[in-house]
Structure formats: C-alpha cells, structure tokens
C-alpha cells in the first residue's frame, strides 16, 4: 500500500465512523427523520413563525418522543421549522 492509498483509507474509515456516530445520535427512526424533512419541504408548508410548530405537529401525529428529538434538533442547529434545513444538510445525505 502506498502512502496516498493509506491516507485515503484513513479518511474513508473516519468518514464511516463519523457517519455511524451521527446516525447513532438520531433519537427517532431514520425513516421518520426523512419523513420529517419531506414534510417540512412540502409545497404548501406555512411560513415559518420561528418556532418548531410544524415539526412538533408532525412528531405528535407520529407519536414520537418530542423532548428528545427537540433537544437533538437544537443541538444540530434546528431551532425552528425553517432552519431545520441546517439539520437536513448534515443528515440528509445519510438518509
């Protein structure tokens, strides 16, 4: 193995580890997270009132654990419905 292959492998392993770590931190099923992003991206979504109102409505309708997911969203920059895109940028590619 030459040096650049070696570096590439380290990078790959790190990326995989990071992916596992991020996905492991999601407090709801990944499919539901995907559904949440899709729900917020829908065409007739109301304008954001700078709360997580639309997110909470979705979570309740799914019977999901609110406090855990809200804390998790905040941790990843999702403070209201319109900035949940921040979270989607981090996690969307993995879903």
Interface residues toward Zn ion, by CB under 5 A:
48, 50, 80, 82
Q: Which is nearer to Zn ion, 80 or 94 (CB)?
A: 80
The closest alpha carbon to 54, from 25, 14, 83, 18, belongs to 83
Structure tokens at 15: 């990326």
Structure tokens at 37: 């992003």
The closest alpha carbon to 36, from 16, 66, 9, belongs to 66
Q: How far is the CB of 77 from Zn ion (least distance, A)?
A: 12
Q: Which is nearer to Zn ion, 37 or 94 (CB)?
A: 37
Q: How far is the CB of 48 from Zn ion (least distance, A)?
A: 3
Q: Which is nearer to Zn ion, 64 or 80 (CB)?
A: 80
- Name the residue with tokens 């992003």: 37
Q: How far is the CB of 22 from Zn ion (least distance, A)?
A: 23
Contacting residues for 86 by C-beta, under 8 A, at least 6 apart: 76, 77, 78
Q: How far is the CB of 88 from Zn ion (least distance, A)?
A: 14
Q: Which is nearer to Zn ion, 9 or 89 (CB)?
A: 89
């Amino acid at each position: 193995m030459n040096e650049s292959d070696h570096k590439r492998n380290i990078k790959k392993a790190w990326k995989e580890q990071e992916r596992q770590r991020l996905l492991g931190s999601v407090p709801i099923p990944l499919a539901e997270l995907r559904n949440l992003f899709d729900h917020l991206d829908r065409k007739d979504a109301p304008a954001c009132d700078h709360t997580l109102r639309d997110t909470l409505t979705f979570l309740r309708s799914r019977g999901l654990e609110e406090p855990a997911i809200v804390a998790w969203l905040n941790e990843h920059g999702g403070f209201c419905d319109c900035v949940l895109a921040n979270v989607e940028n981090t996690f969307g590619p993995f879903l």
